[in-house]
Amino acid sequence: MIINGVQIDETFAEAFNMRGTRVIITAQNLKWAYHAANAMTGFATSVIGCGVEAGIEREMTEEETPDGRPGVSILMFAMGSKVLMQQLETRMGQCILTCPTAAAFSGIDSDEKINLGKNLRFFGDGFQTSKLISAKRYWRVPVMDGEFLCEETTGMVRAIGGGNFLILATSQPAALAAAEAAITAMKKIPNVIMPFPGGVVRSGSKVGSKYKTMFASTNDAFCPTLKGATNTELSPEIESVMEIVIDGIGFDDIAESMRVGIQAICDLGETSGVKRISAGNYGGKLGPHHFKLHEIMGGNSL
């Protein structure tokens, strides 16, 4: 498949099951909503080392938020419900409770509920109060700038992590510029996040290592400096590879984000320096969700 001069490999991205939740963070203005959200989603690029994968999904207007203030929605994903619950409570206490004017609300409905402010209320040392509105419980915790308002619980749903694609280009600047174009387009798609810095990861990994303590290591087949030392997947002109990883609520959400991201890169044309789009998989052994690039891009060559 060739789209606007860019080759799309006949391969698939392999993704796995996760548990996810959404939290709506509001504040006096967007600046402080972002301060809270950025802190809460910090150090959350990969479950390999961070416990959760998290990111800002989108901005929300005063008409969309529960308290009529500007805000942002964040998504958090983990490999299991216990880890997700622990990480959510810890990050809420350290990043939202502490942030001036910030409040937090459930952003997703589900039969499964996890704690949002249920235990944070104890910070109020007995001075906290609650309100039950439309069958939802909210806690008001006195703090030095006034009070911290938080919904008691939020929903937890089954989700998918690890959707991805690889950008193969003739130079590092070309690969990064293409990745930036893709991320700009992908951020318009709801229900997904790209958890790595700026949405892009340069240190794509493979399962296993020569070192017993490492269960993941550099994806040598896609490292340009190792073309002569390993079983490379790169042709001579490829000098840089960038990866975009996507977590999402559902399969279709991730597939659509991949489609618009890849299309944004192809729209740049072959003069951009991008030669191929590929994907990371482990032969179907890592996860049950397979995002086939040719199917996602409609099966048409242009």
Examine the domain organization and report whether 74 and 193 are in the same domain: no
- Please state, for a pLDDT cut of 90, what percent of the chain lies above it: 90
d(CA 249, CA 240): 30
Task: Clarify whether residues 138 and 246 are in a common domain.
Answer: no
DSSP string, 199-227: G-BS--EEE--SSTT-SEEE-GGG-GGGT
Q: Distance (Å, rounded) from C-alpha 111 to C-alpha 128?
A: 27
Q: CA 96 to CA 105: how far, in whole Å?
A: 11
The tokens describing 70, both together, are 């500007």
Cα–Cα nearest to 280, from 218, 197, 209, 198: 218
Task: Say whether pLDDT at 302 is over 50.
Answer: no
Q: Return the bridge partners of 167, or none.
A: 242, 277
Integer angstrom CA distances of residue 252 from 9, 10, 156, 159, 255: 20, 19, 19, 11, 5
Distance of CA 66 to the CA centre of its chain: 24
Residue 112 has pLDDT above 80, yes or no: yes
E strand intervals along 71-115: 71-78, 103-106, 113-115
Q: Where is the domain boundary, 128, 157, 186?
A: 157
Residue 267 lies in a domain: yes
The pLDDT of residue 207: 83
**In this predicted model, what pLDDT tens digit does every residue of 171-220 receive, in sequence order?**
999 999 999 999 999 999 999 999 999 999 999 988 888 898 888 899 99
List the one residue out of 146, 100, 99, 149 whose CA is nearest residue 120. 149
pLDDT value of position 170: 97
How many structural domains compose the chain? Answer: 2
Cα–Cα distance between 36 and 39 in angstroms, integer?
5
**How far apart (Å, rounded) are the C-alpha atoms in residues 12 and 69?**
42
Assign residue 119 the CATH number of its domain.
Answer: 3.30.70.520
Could you tell me if residue 96 is left (phi over 0), alpha (psi between -120 and 50 degrees) or otherwise beta? alpha
- Which tens digits make up the pLDDT trace of 24-43? 999 999 999 999 999 999 99
238, 227: one domain: yes
- Examine residue 202 and state whether it is found in any structural domain, yes or no: yes
What are the pLDDT digits (tens) for 122-137? 999 999 999 999 889 9
How far is Cα 40 from Cα 266, in angstroms, rounded to an integer?
A: 34
Together in a domain, 142 and 83: yes
Q: Is 87 helix (H, G, I), strand (E, B) or coil?
A: helix
Q: What percent of the chain has pLDDT over 70?
A: 99
Answer yes or no: do 199 and 259 share one domain. yes
Range of the domain at 120: 18-157
Domain closes at, from 111, 128, 157: 157
Write down which residue in 99, 125, 157 finishes a domain: 157
288 HSE (CA, 13 A, CB side): 5
Q: Is residue 152 part of a domain?
A: yes
Residue 72 lies in a domain: yes
Predicted pLDDT at 287: 87
The token duo for 92 is 């809420």
Same domain? 172 vs 278: yes
| DSSP structure string for 223-273 | -GGGTTTS-----TT--EEEEEEEEESSHHHHHHHHHHHHHHHHHH-GGGS
For residues 178 and 170, the answer to whether their CB atoms sit within 8 Å is no
Please check whether residues 106 and 174 belong to one and the same domain.
no
Which pLDDT value is given to residue 129? 97
One domain for residues 88 and 189: no
Backbone angles phi, psi at 108, to 5 degrees: -155, 140
pLDDT digits (tens, 9 = 90+) for 264-296: 999 999 899 999 999 988 877 778 999 999 999
pTM of this structure: 0.93
> 248 lies in a domain?
yes
Q: Rounded mean pLDDT of the chain? A: 95
Task: Summarize pLDDT for 206-260 with one digit per residue, the tens.
Answer: 888 889 888 889 999 999 999 999 999 999 999 999 999 999 999 999 999 999 9
Please tell me whether residues 185 and 68 are part of one structural domain: no
Task: Tell me the C-alpha to C-alpha distance, in Å, between residue 169 and each of 96, 177, 178.
Answer: 40, 10, 9
Asked whether residue 212 falls in the same domain as residue 232, the answer is yes
In a domain, 302, yes or no: no
Tell whether 245 and 279 lie within a shared domain.
Answer: yes
pLDDT of residue 215: 83
Section 107-130 average pLDDT:
95
What pLDDT is recorded for position 260? 98
Whether 169 and 266 map to the same domain: the answer is yes
Distance separating the N- and C-terminal Cα atoms of the chain: 8
At a CB cut-off of 8 Å and minimum separation 6, what does 176 contact?
Answer: 200, 240, 242
User: Could you tell me if residue 106 is inside a domain?
Assistant: yes
Residue 164 lies in a domain: yes
Q: What is the DSSP string of 122-170?
A: GGGTT--EEEEETTEEEEEEEETTEEEEEESEEE-EEEEEEEEEEEEES
